[in-house]
Amino acid sequence: MHRPFPHSMRRLFNFAFAALAAGLAHTAHAETTLKVGDQQLQTRGILEAAGQLKDLPYRIEWFNFPAAQPLGEALNAGAIDVGGLGDAPLIFAYAAGARVRAVAATRSTPIDLAIIVPEASPIRSAADLKGKRIATTRGSIGHYLAIATLERAGIKLSEVSLRFMQPADAKAALASGNVDAWSTWDPYVALAEQRDHDRSIANGVNLSSGLSFQAATESSIKAKQAEIADFLKRVAAGQRWALSHPDEVAAMQSKVTGLPPDVLKTVYQRAQLHPVQIDDGLIAEQQKTANLYERADVIKTHLDVAPSFDRQFPLAAP
């Protein structure tokens, strides 16, 4: 005769099954690898200094890039899951058809975005850039600054020569006199100012939103939602911690990148980088950046940036 399963045993069985399922889920989570793109190891340096890479329930495989353009290309190719890049590179990637979405945002003081010239250069202001050769990286925040600075100075793009190259090549070109100015960002600006005595003749204040993003591929958002959510919380926590610990961050970053600690301390102190919520106002700022590229005929058609954001990852509370 069939005997009913005792209620107490049924409860014990259900508990054991739930625990087993949770254990299996954790194991699967722990075996997941999140492929993260970084620039000059800045994100990794902050996370390591802040202790945010401890007890990770998944693996992180880091990919370091010299600038946002190749990072965006890696995202577009699906070679990485998530990576940090500025507002302008995100627009370029989206305009090129990349299936990527901004999943978190930060804001910094855009004095860390500048057009620099050699110490002995006769160029003293943006007005002096007419007829000059300006190095920058295509699709970068430096590219944006060059366009915005020239527009504000009333100089047409046809009246300058933009030379597109990666930062290492741009630095060499400026030093050798093959270009007259370099539109770039930190840590390159701080390094050039402190080590080479280059001068900043224009910066991003009142021109740039100072926004940057963590962007992820659509496929990774679907397949690794939990890992991305956890990673973004750690990044935000690390960024908040770094605001009041510039010496510790600079020291750790120096070990990771090989850049001088005093240069890196300058980078963090003047940037005041902090996480911000993705909201309608932020998206409107991003739209203004895209509209500038359209006016400059860099982007050939009007771009609606709203679909390039994914708001399912809320900003973690401090």
pLDDT tier for residue 317 given thresholds of 50, 70 and 90: low
Instruction: Report yes or no: 126 and 115 within 8 Å, Cβ to Cβ.
Output: yes
Query: Cβ-count burial of 175 within 10 angstroms (0-12 exposed, 13-18 middle, 19+ buried)?
Result: middle
List the helix and strand counts (H, then E) for the chain. 12, 11
Question: Taking Cα atoms as reference points, which of 90, 99, 61, 59 lies closest to residue 222?
Answer: 99
Q: Which alpha helices (H) appear in 61-103, and where do they start and end?
A: 68-77, 87-95
Average pLDDT over residues 20-39: 66
> In angstroms, rounded to a whole number, what is the distance separating the alpha carbons of residues 132 and 262?
32
Which range is least confidently modeled, 24-38, 93-107, 132-146, 294-308? 24-38
Instruction: Specify the pLDDT at position 297.
Output: 85
Residue among 75, 77, 123 nearest 101 (CA): 75
Kind and range of the H or E element at 242?
A: helix 225-243
pLDDT tens per residue, range 199-209: 999 999 999 99
Q: How many residues does the chain have?
A: 318
Question: What SS3 class is residue 310?
Answer: coil
Token digits of residue 237: 């926590």
* Sheet containing 181-185: order of strands: 161-164, 133-136, 181-185, 113-117, 199-203
How far apart are alpha carbons 287 and 64 in whole angstroms?
28
162 membership: H or E segment, kind and range? strand 161-164
Whole-prediction pTM:
0.79
Determine whether 305 is exposed, middle or buried from the number of CB atoms within 10 Å of its CB (0-12, 13-18, 19+): buried
- Asked if CATH classification 3.40.50.2300 holds for the domain at 111-203, the reply, yes or no, is no
First to last CA, the chain: 61
**Burial group, residue 173, by CB count within 10 angstroms (0-12, 13-18, 19+):** middle
What DSSP element (H or E) covers 255? helix 246-257
Domain map of the chain by residue range? 34-108+210-308, 111-203
Q: Quote the pLDDT of residue 13.
A: 40
Q: Do 34-108+210-308 and 111-203 show the same overall fold? A: yes
Q: Does domain 34-108+210-308 have CATH number 3.40.190.10?
A: yes
Q: Which pLDDT score is estimated for 30? A: 55
